[in-house]
Structure 1
Amino acid sequence: MTRLVYLSRRLLLVSGITGLLVSCTPAQYVQLHPVSGPIAPVDGRLVTKASADSLEVVASFEREDMEYLALDIELKNRTATTIEINPADFQVELLNADRQPLTLPGTTNIRQAADPGYEAGRTEFNIKKEEKRLKTAKILNTVLLVAVVASDIASTSSRSTNRDYKSWANNRVSHDVAYNLIQAKRVIDHGVFVDRMQRYQFEGYRWRELALKRSLVHPGESVRGFVYLPKVKEAAFLNLSYPSTSGTSIQLLFEQTLTKARPK
């Protein structure tokens, strides 16, 4: 009986943690607006551009994407030589409302754009890790079920020598609760697995199909894709930069605003 009570408490703890209410704080959505260079509306987006050493960067804010801000970036090679483009070379400087470096405790105000190759590999690792987690959860659920069944059988067989109906009824209720909790845990485990796998599959698609790829761009050609910047809501401005062949950085400034209305 003591073991059954222990198992029931463990299962209740799992269910309780999973059932915590989501914070009621209203969601805030990020918007970026270019404030430097020639700005023009194109297909409903404000587009800006800057260049250095005959390398031109055209940029517009696409959307907030989980922990990232996605910018639609096109790089045009107007030089006479082939240039290697690496999206991880994009940097963003976080600025405050006075356009001065933003001070954040324990961290720098310079952030790197995501490296699609590295992130794709990390997503594959997370998928394998999640599959392993579900397998472990299934084993644990089986162990818990075996323990409850054994306790149930022992309790039922002892009924003939125990005429205390109240004690037997309490045992019956405890076992029924344990069975229900195990079933609930199975449902929760599977639900968490499905949710995480859907996220990881989307992330894999994002890095494989949407992100700007590391590539060689020949003279007169261009390459386009999404560059993913880490999201920092405390910043008022983001100064995006990309190094040119001479080492001079191409810079584009965006103002960051927060809104409670989801962007269309």
Structure 2
Amino acid sequence: MKLFSVLTFILAIGFVVVSLSGCAPTITTYRLNPVSGDIATIDGRLVTKAEQNGVGIVASFEREDMEFVTLDVEIKNRTDHSIDVNPADFHFTALGVEQDTLPDPRNAGLAFIRTAADPTYEAGRMSLKRKLETKRLKRAKIFNTILMVAIIASDASSSSTSRSYREYANNRVAHGIAYQGLAIKRAIDYSTFGDRMQRYNYEEYRWRELALKAHTLAPGELVRGFVYLPKVANAHYLAINYTIPEQANIPLLFKQELVQQRKNQRR
């Protein structure tokens, strides 16, 4: 019975944790507004414009997207020669409430500086992510099989032991809970697998279709797409710089707010 008691406890705790994880009454969302450059309101959103040495940028906050905050960016080449555009040339420094530079949590002696996601690199990771998720499901299946064997062995052993009716009834209830808990765990494993695969499909679409791509702009041309910046929860400002070596270094300053919303109010 000792093995069975431990097994039942693990399944019960896992079920409670999963149940409680979906009951959070509020959710935190990110909101960014530009506070530098030539700012205007277009279609209800704040948009900033900046230019240096013939390279022009129009940028606005688009939305929060999983582990990123997203900027809608347009880059125009007003020079008399071609320029190379790359979303990985967007960098930002996380600033505090007084626009002081925050320390990097990985190394307190350095400034908190991050680079925008590289869509080509991220799209290339999708195949590996799917393979790892498939392996995770296979490991879960093996573990579930081991649990089932343990439950059946415990059930058979305890059922063959003579006992009072109350003990017999309690034993049947306990094993029924264990079988049900294992069924729930299996359902959660498959649901998690499906959700993550769906997420990876979206991520692949995001990097291939929505993100700003590396591109060579001829004079007079422009390109538009989303730039994905890693979230920094404790930042009050993001000091963003778009750099083209030996051509331009364009600063953009955005103020960041964390907004608490009730879960049923979020669209």
Q: Give the TM-score band, short-chain normalised.
A: 0.7 to 0.9
SS at match of 1:212: coil
Name the residue aligned to 2:151.
Answer: 148
SS at match of 1:27: strand
Deviation for aligned residue 1:112: 0.9
Name the residue aligned to 1:117.
Answer: 120
SS at match of 1:14: helix
Q: Which has the larger radius of gyration?
A: 1
Whether 2:183 is the aligned partner of 1:194: answer no
SS at match of 2:70: strand
What is the one-letter code of the residue matched to 1:139? I
Structure 1 segments unaligned to the other structure (5+ residues)? none
Provide closer, same or farther for how the CA distance between residues 248 and 93 of structure 1 changes in structure 2, counting only shifts above 3 A.
same
Written as runs of structure 1 = structure 2, the 5 A alignment for 1:206-245 is: 206-245=206-245
Whether 2:134 is the aligned partner of 1:128: answer no
Deviation for aligned residue 1:97: 2.9
Provide closer, same or farther for how the CA distance between residues 50 and 131 of structure 1 changes in structure 2, counting only shifts above 3 A.
same
Written as runs of structure 1 = structure 2, the 5 A alignment for 1:17-28 is: 17-21=17-21, 24=24, 26-28=26-28
Moved more, 212-221 or 122-131: 122-131
Provide closer, same or farther for how the CA distance between residues 22 and 178 of structure 1 changes in structure 2, counting only shifts above 3 A.
closer
State how far apart, in whole Å, the 1-side matches of 2:29 and 2:167 are.
56
What is the one-letter code of the residue matched to 1:119? E
What is the one-letter code of the residue matched to 2:122? E
State how far apart, in whole Å, the 2-side matches of 1:55 and 1:259 are.
34
State how far apart, in whole Å, the 2-side matches of 1:131 and 1:141 are.
15
State how far apart, in whole Å, the 2-side matches of 1:147 and 1:95 are.
54
State how far apart, in whole Å, the 1-side matches of 2:224 and 2:37 are.
19
State how far apart, in whole Å, the 1-side matches of 2:266 and 2:185 are.
37
Contact 1:55 1:244 in 2 (8 A): no
SS at match of 1:28: strand
- What is the CA deviation profile of residues 203-233 of structure 1, one whole-angstrom value per residue up to 9, with x for unaligned ones? 2221121111112222221111000112223
The number of aligned residues is 261
State how far apart, in whole Å, the 1-side matches of 2:201 and 2:138 are.
19
Q: Aligned-residue CA RMSD in angstroms?
A: 2.6
SS at match of 1:260: strand
Name the residue aligned to 1:55.
Answer: 55
Moved more, 5-14 or 34-43: 5-14
What is the one-letter code of the residue matched to 2:139? T
State how far apart, in whole Å, the 1-side matches of 2:27 and 2:71 are.
21
Structure 2 segments unaligned to the other structure (5+ residues)? none
- What is the CA deviation profile of residues 114-150 of structure 1, one whole-angstrom value per residue up to 9, with x for unaligned ones? 1112222333322221121112212222232233234
Name the residue aligned to 1:71.
Answer: 71
State how far apart, in whole Å, the 1-side matches of 2:137 and 2:28 are.
33
State how far apart, in whole Å, the 2-side matches of 1:182 and 1:119 are.
36
Q: Choose from 131, 138, 158 the match for 2:141.
A: 138
Moved more, 224-233 or 25-34: 25-34
State how far apart, in whole Å, the 2-side matches of 1:226 and 1:217 are.
17
What is the one-letter code of the residue matched to 1:203? E
Provide closer, same or farther for how the CA distance between residues 97 and 164 of structure 1 changes in structure 2, counting only shifts above 3 A.
closer
State how far apart, in whole Å, the 2-side matches of 1:168 and 1:88 are.
66
